[in-house]
Structure 1
Amino acid sequence: MTRREKHLNAIASFILLLASASAFAADAPAITAIKAAHMVDVRSGALVDNAVVLISGDRITAAGSQLTIPAGATIIDLGNKTLLPGLIDAHTHITARAEDAGYGFIAKSVPRITLTGAKNALITLRAGFTTIRDLGAYGYADIGLRDAINDGDVPGPRILAAGPALGITGGHCDDTRHAPEYNISALGVADGVDEALKVTRRNIKYGADVIKICATGGVLSFGDDPRTSQYTLEELKAIIGDAHRLGRKTAAHAHGGDGIKLSVLAGVDSIEHGSYIDDEGIKLMKEHKTYLVPTLYLGDWLLENAEAMRLPKPLVEKAKVVIPQARINIAKAIKAGVLIAFGTDAAVYPHGLNAREFAVLVKLGMTPAQAIRTATVNAADLLGWSDKVGSIEAGKYADLIAVDGQPLNDVRALEQVQWVMKGGAVVKGN
């Protein structure tokens, strides 16, 4: 081989080497590195300084203090902010509005409330809640919205949706705001074991992730008492047992003691509200490791805004009785060590104010770290999504938020979320 041929050979080899390196670089996953002055370790309640989170695609690959950032990574430097995992609200009604708490919803079609849900979904996501559990919507609107978000058609949080809540005729989840001559009942009405099983299976057929049950009367409904149970133990066992057999968790709206106890004995996964929980209910919930989702801040907002909302007088009177009692009883449950998951009942008050719930939990005896845990690792456990969300750890979705200030000192910092990422994509902030 001549010198010229050797020279050309060397050039060709070098070009092939460059091409191979370029192909390898193209195949290598892109890395994003998030830097912040602080990060909350939600499991321990400790603050991690000089935080770095590495992300590939929609997942976290590593997180810690002063991690080495790979060459070529895209860096997002959040400066002096504090990082937390995306928050979880385990009790919303994403397709509803506070203005409809009286009679306003009656004239709304399912397409209309679904579009309302799309608006609320973006508001909720930008407030820092990257995952929600929606516990009841007309006409499966929350299921349709969930699917649209998953398909990328509209922005919003990850949603576990219930569809129509199950309730007895004339109960809290029946449509009691129409005159009897209209002969209208809510879609989820089911009386007796056979009907209850049929509606449970129908909800699952149409895509429900969770089954919501109205086990007692409620506040924003006519003609019922929040202190009294509505489903029997036999009916509750049928609904909950079938839901579990078909791979769905269950949630029971339950204010009153009997409804709480019957639901827990039937195997429910969470009690929603729990306003009249007593010592026996607390004992049962601890024994069965049943979560309580208190939904407390709504009481403050509702009483302050009842007149502006034109809330019917019978509902206002019920609220004035239930809300103060709920604070006393929930504080006892917290002190006793009942498992608490974060939920707001957003729609009773405006979506986007969800984080105001944290300050009420602290006021009733939690530390800021404990309150934050309710909306992260606890809520993820309740949803059955501990492997996906709830903490900043390798393998979890890259759902992150950042705030100014220090939420471990003042939990109200979470009411002003400055930056939000869902699945590796920034949805709020630079």
Structure 2
Amino acid sequence: MSALGITSLAAADLSGCASIPARSLPKLDYSGAMLITNASIVDVMTGRAIPGSSFIIDRGKISSLGPAAARSELSGFSAVIDLGGKYVIPGLIDAHCHTTLPGAGQFDFWGVSTTLYQLKRNHVQQIENGITNIKGGHPDIDPSDVSIFAKPTMLLTGKSSVWFSSVRELKDSLKESLENGASFIKLTMDNLSLMCGKGVIPVYSGEHLKIIFDFAEQHNLPVAGHIHRKFGFDRGLEYGINSMEHTIGDARISDEEIKLMAEKNIAIVPTMTVGQVFASEEAYDEVPREFRNDYIDNEVRIRREYLISNLDRFIEKDIHRANMEALAWYKKLGCEKCYDRGIMLTRPELYYGILKYGPDNVRRMKEAGVLIGCGTDAGVPFCYHGTLVREMEALTRLGFSNGEALKSATVNNARILGMGDTIGRIKENFSADMVVLDGNPLQDIGACRNPLMVVKNGRLAFINRERFSPSGKTLSLV
């Protein structure tokens, strides 16, 4: 019997759980075209900022771009936003996350209400941190459960952990997933679990994979592969998977394999911060020498500082505290006994391995022209929703320029999602998804933290009210 790792469309029952308070947004008139002026537009394709720019938004799309408008030209618009020279980037895209996972490793019965409340926060956190589109392995939550004007557009996989004992059951599961709105298929390609104490896991036969890939091609569904090991990489490469999710932690990939990856147009979403947060030094009295070098030591230092920082903006305190307390089980039980005791901890050697092999593998992929995206794996412990900038910063530590990291989180991700002609750029006829920043992200990628404003489908989704002042139909930076 084999497990088909495509994700459930059955949403968590959020009834009876407190709603997220409605975000206060200025009332703008969206009945006509809206002008955004005095902007410094960041062109993610050229890596240049274009000051003194303006653009018009009409029916949720960018209809035209040009120089900043004069006051005499403002009368023809139903609303005007004057950005005072601040920087505008396309809406960020998280190409790997799980919106109906709460970021908790251990399920605490007494924390049910907290867990469900966090599920509602996930969409809010994405929007407020400039993430307007996500590729998620889980179903959407009804917007009535999230009292916010807008939320990210979401791509969905199908059913999760579908156990099948026959080819017919596999085909029926694929068909059902498509009927339920799946927009891509996600497979677990590895043969060994990433969990402490859990070893071999079911793998797809060649017949299974042929059925899945033929179905995907027939219905124009991209196939993404959860891949942490060379075994999974080899299978993904053989079958021409559309995107590899994560990077491997047990081998150096050869130049020939990377060249073939580029030739087959296989993208990767490396999620390097997953390797960082699960490189659990708590599992060792002394970290093995094979996992010690300047890069790894620095990532572990960043991890240490991140875990003790104030993360209230991203996660409920009780959930993060439980995640931190769970780390003690590494030494209390030992890794191999955790799974049988119901303790969900990841194998530290696998994630130290990602930090060991990942930098060189990903750098050479970039040099070979492999399309590299940006994703967080948000929803699993320590990878919290809204923290995409951490992954962008991680890419810069691999040698990506700030512009390349920003491109990975926008136009590259749009291509991976199959939406490269509609999102990911500030361009005419593209969706009006954008983020306003105080600083220039081409000079400091950290400028993507704390957006001043987020626009989704041409409407305000988030705004720092202290930085903008309304006057009639105009909203101006102060």
Please report the TM-score for the alignment, with normalisation by the length of structure 2: 0.70
Q: Show CA shifts across 1:6-40 (max 9, x none).
A: xxxxxxxxxxxxxxxxxxxxxx9612111244110
Structure-2 change in CA distance of 1:291 and 1:393 (3 Å)? same
Match of 1:391 in 2: 425
Larger radius of gyration: 1
Match of 2:352 in 1: 321
Corresponding position: 1:267 with 2:299: no
- The answer to whether structure 1 residue 404 and structure 2 residue 399 are counterparts is no
Deviation at 1:161, TM superposition (A): 1.1
For the aligned residues, what is the CA RMSD? 3.0
Q: Which residue of 1 aligns with 2:405?
A: 371
Q: Deviations over 1:376-416 (max 9, x none)?
A: 11111111112221111111111110111111111111122
The Cα shift of 1:420 comes to: 0.3
The answer on whether the counterparts of 1:36 and 1:83 sit within 8 Å (CA) in structure 2 is no
Q: Which residue, 282, 301, 308 being the options, matches 2:324?
A: 308
Q: Which amino acid aligns with 2:368?
A: A
In structure 1, C-alpha distance between the alignment counterparts of 2:442 and 2:263, rounded to whole Å: 30
Q: In structure 1, what is the equivalent of residue 339 of structure 2?
A: none
Q: Deviations over 1:186-227 (max 9, x none)?
A: x423466444333222221222111110001453465237xx
Distance 1:41 1:218 in 2: 41
Q: Secondary structure at the match of 1:91?
A: strand
Could you tell me which residue of structure 2 aligns to residue 82 of structure 1? 87
Once the two structures are TM-superposed, the CA of residue 344 in structure 1 deviates from its matched residue by 1.3
Counterpart of 2:26? none
CA contact (8 A) 2:159 2:173 kept: no
In the alignment, which residue of structure 2 is the partner of 1:183? none
Q: Deviations over 1:317-375 (max 9, x none)?
A: 34553332333422332233321111111123111112111111111121111111111
- Please state if 1:160 is matched with 2:155: yes
Distance change in 2, residues 1:190/1:272 (3 Å) = farther
Give, in whole Å, the separation in 2 of the partners of 1:411 and 1:385: 24
1:261 Cα offset (Å): 2.5
Asked if the contact 1:407/1:413 (under 8 Å) is kept, the reply is yes
In 1, the alpha carbon distance for the partners of 2:110 and 2:416 equals 35
Structure 2 CA distance for partners of 1:157 and 1:318, relative to 1, 3 Å: same
Give 2:60's match in structure 1, choosing from 45, 58, 61: 58
Matched, 1:330 2:335: no
Q: Which runs of 5+ in 2 are unaligned?
A: 1-29, 281-303, 308-321, 336-345, 466-478
Distance 1:341 1:197 in 2: 30
Letter of the 1:322 partner, please give it. Answer: G
Counterpart secondary structure, 2:416: helix
Q: Distance in 1 between matches of 2:159 and 2:115?
A: 13
Are the counterparts in 2 of residues 257 and 281 from structure 1 also a CA contact under 8 Å?
A: no
2:175 paired with 1:230: no
2:461 corresponds to: 427
Inter-CA distance 301–256: structure 2 relative to 1 (3 Å threshold): closer
CA separation of 1:67/1:193 partners in 2, compared to 1, >3 Å: closer, same or farther?
A: farther
1:380 aligns with 2:414: yes
Report the secondary structure of 2:452's partner residue: strand
Residue 82 of structure 1, CA deviation: 0.4
Change in CA separation of 1:266 and 1:334 when aligned onto 2, cut-off 3 Å: same
Counterparts of 1:363 and 1:47, CA distance in 2: 22
* One-letter amino acid of the counterpart of residue 424, structure 1: G
Distance 1:252 1:299, change over 3 A: same
| Partners of 1:194 and 1:114 in 2: CA distance | 36
**Cα gap change, 1:115/1:264 in structure 2, threshold over 3 Å: closer, same or farther?**
farther
Give distance in 1, aligned partners of 2:111 and 2:422.
35
TM-score when normalising by structure 1: 0.77
Write the distance in 2 (CA, Å) between the matches of 1:212 and 1:415: 30
Residues 123-158 of structure 1 deviation map (CA, whole Å, 9 limit, x = unaligned): 1111101000002x3xxxx1x42x648999974200
Cα contact 2:434–2:454 (8 A) shared by 1: yes
Q: 1:218/1:373 Cα in 2 relative to 1: closer, same or farther (>3 Å)?
A: farther
Q: Secondary structure at the match of 2:393?
A: helix
Match of 1:208 among 156, 160, 182: 182
In 1, the alpha carbon distance for the partners of 2:369 and 2:325 equals 36
CA distance in 2, matches of 1:268, 1:229: 19
Distance in 1 (alpha carbons) for counterparts of 2:264 and 2:243: 10
**Cα gap change, 1:221 to 1:248, in 2 (>3 Å):** farther
Displacement of 1:164 in angstroms is 3.4
How far does residue 108 in structure 1 lie from its aligned partner after superposition? 9.3
Contact 1:95 1:113 in 2 (8 A): no
Which residue of structure 2 lines up, in the alignment, with residue 131 of structure 1?
133
Return the alpha-carbon distance in structure 2 between the equivalents of residues 415 and 234 of structure 1: 46
